[in-house]
Amino acid sequence: MTDHWHQPLRHIKGATLTGDTSQTSGMTRLEAISGKTVGSSKVWMGETHVAPATNSGDHHHGEAETAIYVKEGHPVFVFADGDREVRLETGPGDYVFVPPYVPHREENPGDEPAVVIIARSSQEGIVVNLPSLWPDQDRS
């Protein structure tokens, strides 16, 4: 009999991560922990690879809170604060928190790949691609 106290732990090997998730241009998202992979009901976790000298498209993650741990490289996280574009320059060991619905993008201006580990408060990898960081206003 399986109950809350007697469920098995699940081991996901890094070499078995799947790219069968929503993608944003300039990035490759790999899914590790999700409703699809382990039956998770509240958490999504995986990693994202951003190639050198590239950036993601502008996007948000819906109602999900997102926590990011920088594993490799020096990615830059860009978001809008009113009319101002803010750039958070990061390195290995840094953490970034992205609140729900906040438009942002990841950039990798360097010459080495960037790899980040992502955890979200949703069982699936929600990605809503946007035309800009200011989706409600024309910034052209």
Class for domain 20-123, per CATH? mainly beta
* Chain CA centroid to CA 65, Å: 10
Please give the pLDDT value at position 140.
Answer: 45
pTM above 0.75, yes or no: yes
Please give the pLDDT value at position 14.
Answer: 78
What count of Cα atoms within 13 Å lies in the side-chain half-sphere of residue 96?
23
Please give the pLDDT value at position 20.
Answer: 64
Low-confidence spans in the chain with pLDDT less than 70: 1-2, 19-26, 124-125, 136-140
Q: Where are the domains of the chain?
A: 20-123
